[in-house]
Amino acid sequence: MQGPPNRLTWSTIVFAFIGSVVMYGVLAYVLEQSGAHVTSDVLEPLRLPVTLLGIACLVASVLWAQLRLSVQREFPAIAGALPEPRQFITHTIIALAFAEACAIFGLLYFFVGASLTDFLMFAVPSVMVMVVFVLPKGSAYWQAWESRREE
């Protein structure tokens, strides 16, 4: 039987998204060190569109987190003010997916010939958005949710 979603479920999802970006970095590092990574002439025309797409994904992630994952201090006292855990987890996955998309664009750029450093310019901000914007909002939500249930 499946139990209700909880903080552990949410934490597992968040760290899985962060871990996937780390694994993209490991893959890029291994490919670059193995000599299997090749450069390409199409890098320069792709630089601006891929960078803009990555930035757009990060902005979308931050905006989504600010709008859908915010928890006000007064929420625990107001019945029904907090979204249900299942809905909160769904909103979290959307914010994380937008952030991870930036790293995926960096990986795409790496696969067409960019350097590991170029990839990291996408991956590091992706993880930073997850850690700075999504993680604290989730911690605040679960603290408010659990304190509301104890009342």
- Does a structural domain hold residue 112? yes
User: Tell me, what's the pLDDT at 31?
Assistant: 92
Average confidence (pLDDT) over 102-131? 96
Question: Among 77-86, 96-105, 135-144, where is mean pLDDT lowest?
Answer: 77-86
148: pLDDT strictly greater than 80: no
The angle, 0 to 180 degrees and rounded to 10, between the axes of the packed helices 85-111 and 7-34 is 0
Question: Sorting pLDDT into bands at 50, 70 and 90, what band is 79?
Answer: very low
What's the structural domain count of the chain? 1
pLDDT at 90 > cutoff 60: yes
Q: What is the mean pLDDT of the chain?
A: 89
The Cα–Cα gap between 31 and 47 comes to 20
* 2 in a structural domain: no
Mean pLDDT confidence for 43-65: 95
Answer with the residue of higher pLDDT: 60 or 75: 60
What domain range is 83 assigned to?
A: 7-150
pLDDT exceeds 90 at position 65:
yes
Residue 1 falls inside a structural domain: no
> Burial level of 16, CB count in 10 A (0-12/13-18/19+)?
exposed
